Structure 1
Amino acid sequence: METRIENILTVTKKLILLSATTLLSIALIFGATLFWGNKLMISWICIMCGILGGFVSIQQRIKKISSKELQLLSKSWFQILLIPIYGGIFSLILYVIFLSNMLSGQFFPSFNFPSIPESGVDTVYLQNFLINTYPQSGQDLAKLIFWCFLAGFSERFVPQVISNISNETEQPK
């Protein structure tokens, strides 16, 4: 039992360190964009919120996981990082789903998109799209942050969303 408590403490210390690093990264991204007067890349915020959600998820489950898994987490930085990295990836996928309007409604964020040039979509437009697509309001930004955190926190959420979208497209009309 003593070893389990030691492993919980070790994993908790690693989670605190990695969560603090993630929060610092978010602050640096915000600070850098303010300092240099650049636009904030929303995709980075999505990824960081997903990563943070993954760290919180591990911390919430830590007392319930098996001793073997706990021992593995206490000995390996990679294993601790794996879930949050997936959380970051899932949050980015969810962001793309929101941008594509495949998931919309009052509980989901809405976005302002740059106008498509008369010449059509090209590389310059795609760069413009990545840099200048923003949530329509502060509320929409808050919704996006919440959903991206949830994507990292609940590792089954985004795969379920993808599965639901896939099932809707496969159903005969």
Structure 2
Amino acid sequence: MSVPKNAFFHACIPPLLIFAVLAKSLWFGSGDDVVPLTLAIFLTGAGGGVISTYFRLKNMAPTQMESNAILQVYITPIMAGLLGWICYAFFLTGMLKGPLFPDFKGQAEDYKNIISVFSITPATSLDAAKALLWAFVAGFSEKLIPNILDKLAAQAEASGSQDKVTVTVTAPTSTNSDTSF
């Protein structure tokens, strides 16, 4: 199958939409117009997914691409944004902890409604930056969040109870060490 002639046009739409929303909010917004962190998490994850897709597609010959490549260009940012949110939820719950991950304030507040969940905020600007970076990584690496989910499920089954299951990640101490999830 050949790639449709308008494939380049379609491939440009998702990153341009992501850039437009972020640019409008960050450069032209003021005060309350600034993009909320939850939207920034989604868009950063989506951006990671877009870049991952382009790395996969750039090395393919046009004759190897299937007609669903255009569909993948649109679906990947949505899925990657959702993975960014799931990663953020792991941080909010404290299920992913370690020096590489963000800390939050407001976690001990009583639940009132769904808005109270989103009132949990990063403790510092550095923690917000860590959350954005991990959202990008979650969107870029399609297997990261599913691997974490698999590990949590295995730990929950092994514990045989509803005890809190936590994945702790430590930074590598040498160049030969791997960070494991």
With the shorter chain as reference, the TM-score category is 0.7 to 0.9
1:83 aligns with 2:81: no
Correspondence for 2:139: 152
Structure 2 residue runs of 5 or longer lacking an equivalent are 161-181
1:150 shift after superposition: 1.0
The percent of aligned pairs where both chains have the same amino acid is: 21
Q: How far, CA to CA, are the matches of 1:19 and 1:169 in structure 2?
A: 38
1:127 aligned residue (110, 115, 138): 115
Q: How far, CA to CA, are the matches of 1:9 and 1:144 in structure 2?
A: 38
1:172 aligned residue (159, 163, 173): 159
1:168 shift after superposition: 1.3
| Structure 2 counterpart SS, 1:171 | helix
Preserved CA contact (<8 Å) 1:12 1:59: no
1:40 shift after superposition: 4.8
Deviations 1:77-107 (A, max 9, x none): x331111111011111111111000001000
Q: How far, CA to CA, are the matches of 1:160 and 1:127 in structure 2?
A: 29
1:24 aligns with 2:20: yes
CA RMSD after TM alignment: 2.9
Q: Which has the higher contact order (CA 8 A, sep 6+)?
A: 1
Correspondence for 1:62: 57
What is the count of residue pairs matched by the alignment? 160
Structure 1 residue runs of 5 or longer lacking an equivalent are none
1:67 shift after superposition: 5.4
1:112 aligned residue (92, 105, 109): 105
TM-score, with normalisation over the residues of structure 1?
Answer: 0.77
Higher helix share: 1
